[in-house]
Structure 1
Amino acid sequence: MTNSWNERFNTEEYMYGEKPNAFIEKFSSQLGGLKNVAAFAEGEGRNAVFLATLGHEVTAFDYAESGLRKTKQLAKKNHVEVNTVQVDLLEGDIPAEQFDGAIMVFGHFPKEKQSLVFNKIVNSVKPGGKIMMEVYSEDQLDYQTGGPKNLEMLYKPQDLLDWCEGRKILHFFVGEQTRHEGKLHKGLAHVIQLIVEKNN
């Protein structure tokens, strides 16, 4: 099967830009004091590199070899190091309780697989660690400013709230945000944000 993400990132240009996602940048203090942080579905590495510049030890996970290569390039440009792991989050194994925190920005998967991916992410974090995510909601289809064009690849707020049950919710937001991230995220968007703490 062709890896469309590998093809998308196989460019000189950073398709989503080199700056971090605004949500990750704004709430990065939530990861303060957490040494090892994982960045899942990290693409070309902009968020991983940003967190590395703050002093975190960061491991970027992605399906696309070209994206991970660009992550290394961006890290070098910013005089930091980022570990990279090529993995399909739907099929591959993720280490358990290895990280103090984890992020995922616009990692989109089929609805029937979303909880599987979320559970892998939370399982990768040690008790007391934090997970931060920003994803597009189903309403994003009306905005046409980025993200999947398929409803089955977008998220329902209630599904994420259900997944958060039993975990300490530090931040949950659903609504409009402006995102200017490279050439593929441009303008007003409809997103879901969450920050949760793993209790056990």
Structure 2
Amino acid sequence: MREFWEERYKNRDYVYGDKPNVFFKTFIDGVEPGRILLPAEGEGRNAVYAANKGWDVNAFDFSLNARNKALELARREGVSIEYLVADIEFHELGEEMYDAIALIHVHFMAGNRSYIHKKLVNSLKKGGFFILEAFSRGQLKYDSGGPADKSMLYDIGELKEDFSDLEIETLYKQEVNLDEGLCHRGAASVIRLVACKK
């Protein structure tokens, strides 16, 4: 899997674009900045946007090529982000460290998903927000991106279960038109979540 992402991110172009995800941007624009974690952040488009909005940004991805492109984007934009090369499954996060955590189009093997979600929730401060946008199982009828493995796609019921310790403020499935670089383009089915740790 790591080899797949290193190959994808070695492209000089930003394959998911250099502008933030629309759902992520809407959230960031509506809240006071704090400390945010962006796991599996890829080429840095969301991390750099958050930094531009005054957030203290911690990000990581297991691709070195992704990190290099993210740091180049941050340099171009004149902002600073902390960006590590790490695997989300094994990376130590600490407890109650972040005011927000965002997973944007991050898909896991079915056996790891719930464990990783709980681990991330544990590192969220009380009063902090969890933001997620990912492809739903309805994405299989589209060719605009995402895994071909149905078990890696999202389901509202599973997310309710995974985030049952949080107060869910927003959770819905929506058909959207993606325009995010070369690899997320066209009609898509996504699930969007905002939840708060009380």
TM superposition score category, shorter chain reference: over 0.9
Aligned residues: 198
CA contact 1:22–1:179 (8 Å) conserved in 2: no
CA contact 1:145–1:186 (8 Å) conserved in 2: yes
CA contact 2:33–2:53 (8 Å) conserved in 1: no
CA contact 1:38–1:99 (8 Å) conserved in 2: yes
Q: Deviations over 1:83-107 (max 9, x none)?
A: 0021111233222221111101000
Distance apart, 1:165 and its partner CA: 1.9
Structure 2 equivalent of residue 15 of structure 1:
15
* RMSD (CA atoms): 1.4
**1: distance between equivalents of 2:50 and 2:170?**
19
Stretches of 4+ moved more than 6 A in 1? none
Structure 1 equivalent of residue 42 of structure 2:
43
After alignment, is 3-12 or 76-85 more displaced?
3-12
CA contact 1:167–1:196 (8 Å) conserved in 2: yes
AA matched with 1:12: R
Distance apart, 1:2 and its partner CA: 5.0
Residues 8-87 of structure 1: pairs in structure 2 closer than 5 A: 8-30=8-30, 32-87=31-86
Structure 2 equivalent of residue 165 of structure 1:
164
Structure 2 equivalent of residue 185 of structure 1:
184
% identical aligned pairs: 34
Residue 98 of structure 2 corresponds to residue 99 of structure 1: yes
Normalised by the length of structure 1, the TM-score is 0.94
**1: distance between equivalents of 2:90 and 2:57?**
22
The 3-state SS of whatever aligns with 2:170 is: strand
Q: Which runs of 5+ in 1 are unaligned?
A: none
Q: Which runs of 5+ in 2 are unaligned?
A: none
**1: distance between equivalents of 2:115 and 2:10?**
28
AA matched with 1:43: G
Distance 1:142 1:74, change over 3 A: same
CA contact 2:100–2:130 (8 Å) conserved in 1: yes
AA matched with 1:17: G
Distance apart, 1:125 and its partner CA: 1.2
Structure 2 equivalent of residue 194 of structure 1:
193
